[in-house]
Amino acid sequence: MTTITAEALKARLDAGEQVNLVDVREPDERAAFNIGGTHLPLGQIMGMQVDAIDDMRNEEVVVYCRSGNRSGQACMFLETMGFTNVVNLSGGMMDWEAKFAG
């Protein structure tokens, strides 16, 4: 599994790059703060309900959660389901907010 830092991802987004983001947090966490992308809670991924992102199987998919743990699990599971380029946002939204939401 590949990882990306908050700084590297923010630089790509700020440059206008189209990045496939997947937020695997629960709805209340997403409502509090998010950086966009498709909302697909970890439970749905573990239940193999990935229709919303199925078209991204052969594209880079950056997965994020609160701290990087759930997104790491999601990345590993997505890889077993045939996703070829999943990337975990290290530190998750905790790191992102600490660096950029001040």
Please give the positions annotated as active site.
65
82 Cα distance to chain centroid: 17
State the angle between helix axes of 6-14 and 92-100 in degrees (0 to 180), rounded to the nearest 10.
60
How many angstroms separate the CA atoms of 70 and 79, rounded?
14
